[in-house]
Structure 1
């Protein structure tokens, strides 16, 4: 599969930010996108709605289905899956992108916020996979891609915001589990994480950052595209960073992704160069497959 033409993607949190950019990149190939998000009317502080995202996707060359969905509710997920299948005939790719963030220490974390992160991050990742898998198993190249970090047990990632870290690592454990469980069925289950801070609404949740020292969400969209167009049976169980994927397919100059030229982006959470990305032997092997397939597809384009 050289591109995502005709493939159907079920993307959570696709009304803005990283989710929308992944949708737009797929739309350029002519993909079908189910936009799974809660914002159906303009938000006073956040840009975009499921309907404005749908317009952009269709302008980019894709087909869109805007579905107001609270992914904390399994019945709403089931209904969104049913509507997606009814409109597009199936589901080929699930992107677990939606996430809740609250960077507070234990004594400053209300249980309401803890529950929100646990439900939106860990629980919804599992619930969306559970609902989509019966349809993914009918696809000729089924992928699940979750926006979660390589599990890193360094104490520094727990000391200041343990509840958030636990919820994000729960998403990563879902990748571990699903990749192993569905290996024989050929479902590619992977995680993707940025090396640097990304310009999204969540960036405003991180105090003390200098404006402009971030990358555009397009960097994750391009990395996701490379993973999702790879052979699912051969690329699974990987915890990728955006940089290692792009380097594998020959993109080494990342300056164009910087929000402000000349400003070095801040490193993101959970990333340590000696522990993440291509330094992991399994990831390195998978990157070789992605590179081989990408180069073969490019030479035949």
Structure 2
């Protein structure tokens, strides 16, 4: 077993929004290395346009070699969030990693954006990240290598991005600012707080249900690239790696993996939101 596998075996990872897409991929990536995974998602029943539920996700994680517990709940609910953390502690004895993955997106222009969608983004993205992290921290303090990983972008203050979809940007940058703030607040506790963001579009349900989906999916990478980068980050020594905004491809290249063709996306993948270009590898 390599160092990453040794670092993950037997550790307990709590993930929000984990019934599909990036959250599920991270759970499977950790499970392949022997981690326990606690999943929080609202999807108890199949959605007509979205594959998978929190229960099918748990089975996928167990099939990958890990142990899983599925919790049906809403990341916006303080009670549900506390319940998922308590479930992880009861089932596996503690929490080692918290992954803030749940997120809502609406990119309509300001005058076309409903107040309901505005509130949803702030509540899921910012409030949900706050609640899950707050509930996990007391248990993370007792972990030998505690990590909080938030799926949020680097802070790019270019007018291109500030003006593109200000309300969504506010919610995602809010997640980033919380993570960077916590890195400073909890530095003496030895808990790592980092952000991870994809270099390119990722082939998730959001892309599959978007306009011109077929063309976009052909230029999107598989969620496995985010999973591999996430596992690399949360396997690092927490005290030495905190307060960073990281890009999936950069993480893998730094770990020695320069050929990313296995993740798809073709020769000209779509650069993700908040990034200006794909780095040469």
CA contact (8 A) 1:241 1:277 kept: no
Aligned to 1:282: none
Aligned to 1:138: 142
- Paired residues in the alignment total 275
In structure 2, how many angstroms separate the alpha carbons of the residues matched to 1:25 and 1:72?
Answer: 26
Aligned to 2:176: 172
Displacement after TM superposition at 1:160 (Å): 2.8
In structure 1, how many angstroms separate the alpha carbons of the residues matched to 2:4 and 2:228?
Answer: 14
Measured on the aligned residues, the alpha-carbon RMSD in Å equals: 1.7
In structure 2, how many angstroms separate the alpha carbons of the residues matched to 1:53 and 1:205?
Answer: 20
Aligned to 1:254: 260
- Paired residues for 1:189-228 under 5 Å: 189-204=193-208, 206-208=210-212, 210-211=215-216, 212-228=218-234
Change (3 A) 1:208 1:59: closer
SS in 2 for 1:46: coil
- Over residues 69-89 of structure 1, what are the superposed CA-to-partner deviations in whole Å (9 max), with x where a residue is unaligned? 101111111111111111111
Q: 2:236 aligns with which of 230, 237, 241?
A: 230
- Paired residues for 1:96-175 under 5 Å: 96-175=100-179
In structure 1, how many angstroms separate the alpha carbons of the residues matched to 2:195 and 2:4?
Answer: 21
Displacement after TM superposition at 1:272 (Å): 2.4
CA contact (8 A) 2:98 2:149 kept: yes
Unaligned runs of 5+ in 2: none
- Over residues 123-163 of structure 1, what are the superposed CA-to-partner deviations in whole Å (9 max), with x where a residue is unaligned? 11111110000000010000000000001111111223111
Change (3 A) 1:269 1:277: farther
Q: Aligned pair 1:25/2:29, yes or no?
A: yes
Q: How does the TM-score come out when normalised to structure 1?
A: 0.88
- Paired residues for 1:83-94 under 5 Å: 83-94=87-98
SS in 1 for 2:68: strand
Displacement after TM superposition at 1:206 (Å): 4.8
SS in 2 for 1:101: coil
Displacement after TM superposition at 1:40 (Å): 0.9
Aligned to 2:10: 6
Q: How does the TM-score come out when normalised to structure 2?
A: 0.94
Aligned to 2:41: 37
Aligned to 2:83: 79
